[in-house]
Amino acid sequence: MTKELNSVQPKSDEVIVVNRREQILEAAVIVFAEHGYFRATTAQVAEKVGISQPYIFKIFKNKEELFVATLERAFERITRSFKGVNAPADQIVWEAIRVYERLMETHPNEIILQVQALGIRDEAIRQVIRQGMRDITELVKQIFVTAGMEHPEVEVSTFMANGMLCNISMTLGMPELKPKHLDRG
């Protein structure tokens, strides 16, 4: 049922040292997205990696820190994706949408993770998501301004709102909730 993720073939005698931290994060994203932060157990994450449950705590101080790390990773991927975006003013929004849509296809679990995090009341997690939202907003604004857009503030806000509705639509499994703009130009 739960497939291990660390299926690494050592080439002859050369031992491939996989990064345990990365492996754990990779598994954690999946487990957290499926069961939610609180229902997910460190044992499930460990099982998916193929290590013992206590070993998680050799690498992450506690469960919260593990979740924070997965969340930060998710936000970093978003900002990294947006960093390269560049287009003339009349195309920049569609370009940004395109980039984000691809991200949602390739890393749906990270999107789910973020929607989860919106509702978590633990302060450490709230801080991460606040910072993440700030970073994305600022970055998108910078992109829109650079493209020479008319009303960047309003456009950024609209972009964030529709992006959020996209996330929620996906997390809830309600495709009918997706923003209607996106249907056709």
Partner DNA sequence: GGGTAGTGATTGATCAATAAATAAATTAAA
Partner DNA sequence: TTTAATTTATTTATTGATCAATCACTACCC
Which single residue is written with the structure tokens 């506690």?
62
Contact 67, 32 (CB under 8 A): yes
Q: Is 117 exposed, middle or buried (CB count within 10 Å of its CB: 0-12, 13-18, 19+)? A: buried
Instruction: Report the residue number, 45 or 51, with the smaller CB distance to its own copies.
Output: 45
- Region 132-161 residues binding DNA, contact defined as CB under 7 A: none
Q: Is 20 in the site for DNA (CB under 7 A)?
A: yes
Q: Is 39 in the site for DNA (CB under 7 A)?
A: yes
Q: Is 108 in the site for its own copies (CB under 8 A)?
A: no
Q: How far is the CB of 69 from DNA (least distance, A)?
A: 13
Q: Is 2 in the site for its own copies (CB under 8 A)?
A: no
Q: Is 180 in the site for its own copies (CB under 8 A)?
A: yes
Q: Is 42 in the site for its own copies (CB under 8 A)?
A: no
- Region 52-111 residues binding DNA, contact defined as CB under 7 A: 52-55, 57-58, 62-64
Q: Which among DNA, its own copies, none contacts residue 108 (Cβ within 5 to 8 A by kind)?
A: none
Q: How far is the CB of 87 from DNA (least distance, A)?
A: 44
Instruction: Give me the residues that bind DNA (CB under 7 A), please.
Output: 15, 17, 20, 39-43, 50-55, 57-58, 62-64
Instruction: Give me the residues that bind its own copies (CB under 8 A), please.
Output: 34-39, 112, 115-122, 126, 129-130, 133-134, 137, 153-154, 156-158, 160-162, 164-165, 168, 171-174, 177, 179-181
